[in-house]
């Protein structure tokens, strides 16, 4: 029965995408220039946070090890990130006079203005981050299906590859229209998984003192001067908020979703409530898991230990299987499409071709192959106990945090406008940020052979990299704006 239900739902959604898009195909000249009629973008805004990397990776670790103060910080950082992205988009498009030109592609084009080398590096780093993020999703999907659904290693690898290809076809056939439509379905499935598993966890483990589990555990994000006072909780809140903010600032699929919500011209109160609601929803999902799942903080993480018993029920099993796949598809599709879109915009700035259909297809193929090469490479290196003694599928996502931190730092410093930077500087900023992060990471608790909860102790360093990158960018910006947009527009 579970296989039949999964097969039926995936088939229906695939056929829905195929037949509905025959009626409204992607425009051949600009396949991703689609801003109209995208359904319910509000529901899709939190899909970045609902990703497996976030839900079952960094955010899960933060929720379990650091409890409510950090979780609240994550939620606030996410909400702040959504507001900031909205403000950034509105400000970038403010100087566009014609309403029909206030498009998402115009926004992307504007953020790549300035020195050509800087724009190329910026686009490449964002695109690369999305490819690595998608590969992380594959790795974590594989691992979760092993521990939560009882798949063997081979089965899990094959399932991950197959689901990734299904996701690829969704967006290849339908671009953003398919992404947004499937996001709605996927959010429903993830919510069903969260409710089903959350209820079971809380019922089974409600005898455990849940109040104590909401507080931070010792040994995580500690500062010598703060002790265990409320100032420590404030410190946790701030670190987590920057983490939540940084993820959204560096995620082009989030920018697209926020742009679409902004297009709907909701009233200010409704708009704010929407952003707050979808921004905090994923953390409500995490809370029952954080309360119910207790981990041996000194040993390897075994998330299956508490999940497995509840999956004896077929309905819960199906709900969890569908939720995991849906969560993966939402984030994977968004990352894949975002990576391609950034590359297309960069190409357009250099070539100014009218028809981009072939370019779109080639970039889809390039990104797909890149993601799978990264996935297989990470499996061989980081999840191969017989060869390299590593069995840590979360290692790549932990390393990715540094790249997100540098991108976030550049955006914070330049306020989303890299034309403020002098020419040929961005590659050095990114190089220093990434190398600095890796030098720290390889000696940190995050670089462990098995997944350990102590990996969350790399987050404050990630925030430090973000701030250091921002500071470095500011230093480079001293001395004036070399490629100010206002000057180039004659304003």
Q: Toward other proteins, which CB reaches closer, 234 or 357?
A: 357
Name the one range near other proteins by CB under 8 A: 39-47, 104-112, 296-304, 314-322.
314-322
| Beta carbons of 395 and 384 less than 8 angstroms apart | no
**328 near other proteins (CB under 8 A):** no
**153 near other proteins (CB under 8 A):** yes
**178 near other proteins (CB under 8 A):** no
For other proteins, the binding residue among 361, 388, 428, 442 (CB under 8 A) is: 361
Provide the minimum distance between the beta carbon of 403 and other proteins in the complex, in angstroms, as a whole number. 25
Q: Toward other proteins, which CB reaches closer, 98 or 312?
A: 312
For other proteins, the binding residue among 357, 388, 424, 431 (CB under 8 A) is: 357
> Exposure pattern of 83-106 as b/e (b: 16+ CB <10 Å)?
bbbbebbeebbeeeeeeeebbbbb
**What's the CA angle centered on 464, arms 461 and 469, to 5 degrees?**
130
Q: Toward other proteins, which CB reaches closer, 361 or 442?
A: 361
HEC sequence for 11-52: HHHHHHHHHHHHHCCCCCCCCCCCCCCCCCHHHHHHHCCCCH
**358 near other proteins (CB under 8 A):** yes
Name the one range near other proteins by CB under 8 A: 26-34, 232-240, 404-412, 421-429.
26-34
Q: Toward other proteins, which CB reaches closer, 6 or 432?
A: 6
CB burial of residue 312 (10 Å; 0-12, 13-18, 19+)? exposed
| Beta carbons of 373 and 216 less than 8 angstroms apart | no
For other proteins, the binding residue among 101, 158, 223, 231 (CB under 8 A) is: 158
**206 near other proteins (CB under 8 A):** no
How many other CB atoms sit within 10 Å of the CB of residue 138?
27
Distance set, CA 285 to CA 199, 222, 423 (Å): 11, 26, 44
DSSP string, 190-258: HHHHHHHHHHHHHHHHTTS-HHHHTSPPTTSS--TTTTTSHHHHHHHHHHHHHHHHHHHHT-HHHHHHH
Give the residue from 289, 79, 326 showing the smallest Cα distance to 189: 326
Sign of the torsion formed by the C-alpha atoms of 302, 305, 307 and 312: positive
For other proteins, the binding residue among 93, 147, 161, 192 (CB under 8 A) is: 161
How many other CB atoms sit within 10 Å of the CB of residue 484?
15
Q: Toward other proteins, which CB reaches closer, 192 or 276?
A: 192
**309 near other proteins (CB under 8 A):** no
Pick out residues in 116-145 that bind other proteins (CB under 8 A).
Answer: 145
Q: For residue 187, what is the enclosing H or E element?
A: helix 153-205
DSSP string, 90-137: HHHHTT--SGGG--HHHHHHHHT-S-HHHHHHHHHHHHHHHHHHHHHH
Q: Toward other proteins, which CB reaches closer, 362 or 428?
A: 362
User: Looking at residue 444, what DSSP letter applies?
Assistant: S
**391 near other proteins (CB under 8 A):** no
**234 near other proteins (CB under 8 A):** no
Name the one range near other proteins by CB under 8 A: 19-27, 128-136, 247-255, 464-472.
19-27
Provide the minimum distance between the beta carbon of 188 and other proteins in the complex, in angstroms, as a whole number. 18
For other proteins, the binding residue among 231, 315, 362, 442 (CB under 8 A) is: 362
**211 near other proteins (CB under 8 A):** no
**228 near other proteins (CB under 8 A):** no
Pick out residues in 28-47 that bind other proteins (CB under 8 A).
Answer: 28-29
Q: CA torsion angle for 157, 161, 164, 165 (degrees, to 10)?
A: -160
| Beta carbons of 258 and 249 less than 8 angstroms apart | no
Residue 300 backbone phi and psi in degrees, to 5: -70, 150
**Chain-centre distance of CA 144, in angstroms?**
17
Q: Toward other proteins, which CB reaches closer, 163 or 286?
A: 163
Q: Give me the residue label for tokens 């708009």.
A: 271
How many chain residues interact with other proteins (CB under 8 A)? 54
**316 near other proteins (CB under 8 A):** no
**314 near other proteins (CB under 8 A):** yes
Name the one range near other proteins by CB under 8 A: 58-66, 193-201, 242-250, 358-366.
358-366
**149 near other proteins (CB under 8 A):** yes
**351 near other proteins (CB under 8 A):** no
Provide the minimum distance between the beta carbon of 284 and other proteins in the complex, in angstroms, as a whole number. 27
Q: For residue 183, what is the enclosing H or E element?
A: helix 153-205
The rounded distance, in Å, linking the Cα atoms of 116 and 313 is 57
**435 near other proteins (CB under 8 A):** no
**326 near other proteins (CB under 8 A):** no
Provide the minimum distance between the beta carbon of 263 and other proteins in the complex, in angstroms, as a whole number. 24
Residue 305 backbone phi and psi in degrees, to 5: -60, -40
Provide the minimum distance between the beta carbon of 431 and other proteins in the complex, in angstroms, as a whole number. 31
Residues that bind other proteins (CB under 8 A): 1-8, 10-11, 14, 18, 21-22, 25-29, 145, 149-155, 157-159, 161-163, 165-166, 168-169, 172-173, 314, 317, 321, 325, 355, 357-359, 361-362, 364-365, 368-369, 372
């Amino acid at each position: 029965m579970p296989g039949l239900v999964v097969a039926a739902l995936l088939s229906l959604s695939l056929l829905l995408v195929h037949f509905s898009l025959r009626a409204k195909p992607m425009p051949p000249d600009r396949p991703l220039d689609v801003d109209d009629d995208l359904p319910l973008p509000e529901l899709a805004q939190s899909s970045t946070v609902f990703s497996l990397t976030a839900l079952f990776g960094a955010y899960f670790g933060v929720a379990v090890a650091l409890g409510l103060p950090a979780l609240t910080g994550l939620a606030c950082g996410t909400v702040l990130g959504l507001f900031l992205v909205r403000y950034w988009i509105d400000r970038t498009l403010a100087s566009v006079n014609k309403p029909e030109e206030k498009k998402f592609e115009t926004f992307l084009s504007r953020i790549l203005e300035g020195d050509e080398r800087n724009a190329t590096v910026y686009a490449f780093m964002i695109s690369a981050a999305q490819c690595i993020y998608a590969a992380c999703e594959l790795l974590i999907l594989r691992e979760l299906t092993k521990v939560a659904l009882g798949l063997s290693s081979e089965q899990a690898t094959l399932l991950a590859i197959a689901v990734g290809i299904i996701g690829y076809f969704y967006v290849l056939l339908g671009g953003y229209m398919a992404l947004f439509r499937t996001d709605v379905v996927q959010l429903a499935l993830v919510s069903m998984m969260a409710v089903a598993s959350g209820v079971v966890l809380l019922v089974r483990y409600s005898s455990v003192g849940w109040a104590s589990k909401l507080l931070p555990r010792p040994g995580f994000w500690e500062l010598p001067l703060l002790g265990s006072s409320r100032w420590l909780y404030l410190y946790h809140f701030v670190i987590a908020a920057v983490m939540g903010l940084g993820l959204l600032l560096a995620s082009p699929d989030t920018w697209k979703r926020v742009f679409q919500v902004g297009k709907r011209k909701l009233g200010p109160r409704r708009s704010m409530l929407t952003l707050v609601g979808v921004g905090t929803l994923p953390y409500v999902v995490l809370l029952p898991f954080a309360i119910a799942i207790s981990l041996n903080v000194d040993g390897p993480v075994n998330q299956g230990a508490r999940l497995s018993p509840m999956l004896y029920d077929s309905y819960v099993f199906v709900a969890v299987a569908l939720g995991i796949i849906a969560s993966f598809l939402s984030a994977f599709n968004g990352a894949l499409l975002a990576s391609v879109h950034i590359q297309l915009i960069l190409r357009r700035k250099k070539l100014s071709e009218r028809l981009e259909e072939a370019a779109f297809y080639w970039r889809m193929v390039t990104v797909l192959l890149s993601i799978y090469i990264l996935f297989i490479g990470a499996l061989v290196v980081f999840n191969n106990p017989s060869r390299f003694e590593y069995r840590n599928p979360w290692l790549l996502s932990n390393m990715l945090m540094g790249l997100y931190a540098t991108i976030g730092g550049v955006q914070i410093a330049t306020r989303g406008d890299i034309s403020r930077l002098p020419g040929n500087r961005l590659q050095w900023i990114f190089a220093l940020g990434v190398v600095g992060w890796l030098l720290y990471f390889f000696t940190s608790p995050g670089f462990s052979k098995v997944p350990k909860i102590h990996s969350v102790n790399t987050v404050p360093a990630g925030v430090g990299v973000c701030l250091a990158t921002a500071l470095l960018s500011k230093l480079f910006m001293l001395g004036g704006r070399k490629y100010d947009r206002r000057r180039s527009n004659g304003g």
